[in-house]
């Protein structure tokens, strides 16, 4: 899945810029940002924020899959 470069650039620009775009980013984009930020070993606060969002998106994805499997549809 491709990442939207603008979102990735904004997310890694500053913590304030990250807050402005994080809710519009996909799990794939969040993971890509995590990889880049962790490799640079720069800002723990940005990494922590990205992790929290990745966890939330992952839990939503799991819940959706389980609902589809056991209910046959999304609630």
pLDDT per residue as tens digits for the range 21-64: 999 999 999 999 999 999 987 788 999 999 999 999 999 999 99
Check residue 35 and give its pLDDT. Answer: 93
Check residue 1 and give its pLDDT. Answer: 65
* Residue 63 in tokens: 């819940």
Cβ contacts of 8 within 8 Å, gap of 6 or more: 29, 32, 33, 36
Check residue 47 and give its pLDDT. Answer: 94
Q: In the predicted model, is pLDDT for residue 74 greater than 70?
A: no
Q: SS3 for 20?
A: helix
* Residue 40 in tokens: 């640079």
Indicate the pTM of the whole model. 0.81
Check residue 75 and give its pLDDT. Answer: 54
Give the up-direction half-sphere exposure of residue 33: CA atoms within 13 A in the CB hemisphere.
Answer: 34
């Amino acid at each position: 899945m491709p990442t939207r470069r603008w979102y990735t650039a904004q997310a890694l620009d500053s913590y304030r810029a990250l807050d402005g775009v994080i809710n519009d980013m996909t799990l794939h984009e969040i993971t890509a940002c995590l990889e880049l930020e962790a490799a640079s070993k720069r800002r723990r606060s940005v990494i922590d924020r990205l992790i929290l969002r990745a966890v939330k998106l992952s839990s939503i994805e799991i819940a959706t899959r389980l609902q589809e499997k056991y209910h046959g549809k999304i609630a």
